[in-house]
């Protein structure tokens, strides 16, 4: 039996998690639940930053991020993206032009949760790598693409 890829696993998880979150929102209110999700995310990012691997060369950190990203993009038409730049050994940039994760959350009427439940994982992983991610636009939040800009130079990683 073939093992599920990351997207297939995520799809199963979201089909269970989204209805649970909607039930909690109905009982506790949107604001309380969304604040709790954001607080949990902030705690996870802070914990990842506290264990950041800044002792690893920037080029190796970016290489690991690229490898992990390819895992999340694995599968038929999960993510379509193009590399925009890879300047030097401490910067990397790419744009996602099509995202099955955003389509999944839309099919579950959960676009409002997608950035907290799925896109936020990028920030946790990158923080743990001692790298900064700037994403000015995302499909999940209504943008035409997701802009990934990575900086492993060590500047302003707080």
Termini Cα distance of the chain: 44
- Domains of the chain, by residue range, sit at 6-151
pLDDT of residue 154: 64
Predicted TM-score of the model (pTM): 0.88
pLDDT of residue 158: 42
pLDDT of residue 61: 85
> pLDDT tens across 98-155, in order?
999 999 999 999 999 999 999 998 999 888 888 889 999 999 999 999 999 999 886 6
Tokens at 9, concatenated: 């696993």
> pLDDT tens across 22-47, in order?
999 999 999 999 999 999 999 999 99
pLDDT of residue 63: 86
Phi first, then psi: what are they for 96, rounded to 5°?
-95, 125
Can you say whether the dihedral through the CA atoms of 154, 146, 86, 64 is positive or negative? positive
Residue 88 has pLDDT above 90, yes or no: no
| CATH of span 6-151 | 3.30.1380
């Amino acid at each position: 039996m073939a093992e599920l890829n990351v997207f297939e696993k995520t799809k199963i998880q979201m089909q269970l998690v989204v209805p649970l979150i909607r039930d909690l929102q109905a009982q506790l209110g949107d604001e309380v639940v969304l604040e709790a999700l954001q607080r949990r995310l902030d705690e996870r990012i802070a914990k990842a930053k506290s264990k950041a691997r800044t002792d690893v060369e920037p080029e190796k950190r970016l290489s690991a991020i690229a490898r992990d990203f390819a895992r999340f993009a694995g599968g038929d038409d999960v993510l379509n993206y193009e590399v925009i730049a890879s300047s030097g050994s401490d910067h990397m940039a790419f744009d996602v032009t099509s995202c099955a994760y955003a389509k999944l959350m839309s099919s579950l009427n959960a676009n409002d949760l997608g950035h907290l439940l799925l896109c936020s994982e990028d920030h946790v992983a990158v923080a743990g790598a001692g790298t900064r991610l700037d994403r000015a636009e995302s499909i999940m939040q209504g943008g035409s693409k997701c802009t990934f800009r990575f900086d492993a130079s060590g500047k302003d990683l707080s």
